[in-house]
Amino acid sequence: MKKLFIAALIVVAAGTSAFAADVFKVDYKVKSSFEARFAGAQNVVWSAKEAFIKAAFTIAEENVEAFFDGEGELIGLSRQVDLKKLPLNAIQKIKKEYAAYQVTEAIEFDRDGDKSYYVSLEDGAKKQILEVSLYGGISKYKGPGK
């Protein structure tokens, strides 16, 4: 269930645009939690969905997204990564089994030190999202509830 929630969170964050939340309307608990964890963050843009609040920002010259619940607890962090950062066996498997596809995005998701990756692929109108474990295991992401 945890993996499904994380995967759904990533897909929702990466695949859809959330409505913008005015920084002054972000709950105090969420904003305080963010500021305590990410001092020095720049270009912070807040958005919200029913299940989470997202802060997209830049820190140490990296674009990062932090996801919080309504109580200000950090759900996880995501950032785009180069495909080369994934486990080598996963890269080899993707290149072999999805040779016709173009990698459009690779995202690292970190939930309290538990990292996984999501790779978006396209071949014309065909699109795939793969979930890649830290150890190189690959599975097709089918979406929440599928």
Q: What pLDDT sits at residue 1?
A: 44
Domain boundaries, the chain: 2-77, 83-140
Q: What pLDDT sits at residue 145?
A: 45
**Statement: the pTM of the whole predicted model exceeds 0.95:** no
Three-class secondary structure of residue 1 per DSSP: coil
CATH topology of domain 83-140: Nuclear Transport Factor 2; Chain: A, (3.10.450)
pLDDT in tens, 5-38: 444 455 444 443 333 444 448 889 999 999 999 9
E-state strands within 69-141: 74-80, 102-111, 114-123, 126-133, 138-140
Query: Which CATH code is given to the segment(s) 2-77?
Result: 3.10.450.360
Compute the distance between CA of residue 107 and CA of residue 86 in angstroms, rounded to an integer.
10
Q: Which residues of the chain have pLDDT under 70?
A: 1-24, 143-146
